[in-house]
Amino acid sequence: MEGARDGDRLSMLRDTLARIEGREPRFDDTHPVCREETRRATENRLPLGAERFDALLGGGLPQAGLLEVRHDETREAGTASGFTLALAARYQEDRRPTPRRSLLWVAERQAAAEAGLPYAPGLADYGLDTARLFFSRTRRIEDALWVVEAALACGDFAAVALEVRGNPASLGFTESRRLHLKAKAAGLPLLLLRQGGAAEASAALLRFAVRPAPARPRRLTTGAALAGSLGNPVFSVTIEKNRAVPPQTLALEWSAHDLRFHDHDAAASRALSGAGRAHPVDRLPAPADGPDQPRPVGHVVAFRRAS
């Protein structure tokens, strides 16, 4: 207690000297104002469960405002969608005791055509309450923005997600700022999923770049790893935009059973599952009644940019 009082006196002395010199007082982490702001900011965060990741985010995800998730290549759409859905599941679980526990997923037509439509049984296994999940597919990006703004004005959702393709001109910085302010005013998180889009200036509080990562094998009841199996999904997440820390990349494992993320050790996962990919060849297996030399399936083609 004595040390805390001494810290407060020192901070007050610094404030007094700054005012005498005609300067704005500069608060450090020991100042009561900073401590109070830090406490409020932490209380208004949603922990994801992964301690290292939550620490980088200042305690977790903001409870309101615009958050952006993006990926580089079209073939990574499933990974980014899975990460975004996991975030939505965390928000839904956090607000389960309240009436505001429904989710709305809005996708413009081109994005839905590339990544596919939601599959309710799979989403239920993934941890979402599909009885309270609503999906809207619009013909134009302008229509999608209208639906999102109407949902934010309604305010009856745990979270709203907007899926777009690339970097549409009708969703620039001005539009993102308008969406962010509306989400803040409604006290709701708005998850912007950008398919195959480049990083660009936006009003998002956080921006994540997501890529797939190798998963651990499933564990048997004995604790041994089941060879050749796949465990919980793992995401390589780069925090591209965060006011608190510079960009960093971490691996996160999503547990649909616990409805939370876990810090993932990618090196240990590779050691358990063996070197390389589970299926490290680009050839199909030989058919039982056909030639013994199957044809190659060709090269993987992926567009790096959606627009």
Contact, 203 vs 66, CB < 8 A? Answer: yes
Best CA proximity match to 300, nearest among 28, 114, 75: 75
Q: What pLDDT was estimated at residue 5?
A: 54
| Structure token pair of residue 224 | 């041994």
Domains of the chain: 2-34 (no CATH), 45-273 (3.40.50.300)
CA 145 vs CA 133, 159, 272: distances in Å: 18, 15, 45
Greater pLDDT, 269 or 296: 296
> Which tens digits make up the pLDDT trace of 157-184?
999 999 999 999 999 999 999 999 999 9
> Which tens digits make up the pLDDT trace of 18-75?
667 666 555 554 545 444 444 444 458 999 999 999 999 999 999 999 999 999 998 9
| Structure token pair of residue 299 | 């090269």
| Structure token pair of residue 150 | 């109407």
Alpha helices in 128-252 (DSSP H): 141-154, 173-186
Greater pLDDT, 288 or 97: 97
Residue 181, helix vs strand vs coil: helix
Can you say whether residue 98 is alpha, beta or left, with left for phi > 0 and alpha for psi between -120 and 50 degrees?
beta
Q: What is the pTM of this model?
A: 0.75
Contacts of residue 276, defined as CB under 8 A and 6 or more positions apart, other chains included, come to none
d(Cα 194, Cα 202) in Å, to the nearest integer?
12
Element (H, E) at 263: strand 260-263
d(Cα 293, Cα 285) in Å, to the nearest integer?
9
Give mean pLDDT, residues 285-301. 60
CA 70 vs CA 38, 87, 118, 165, 196: distances in Å: 28, 14, 18, 10, 7
Is 281's pLDDT higher than 60? no
Q: What pLDDT was estimated at residue 52?
A: 93
d(Cα 92, Cα 189) in Å, to the nearest integer?
11
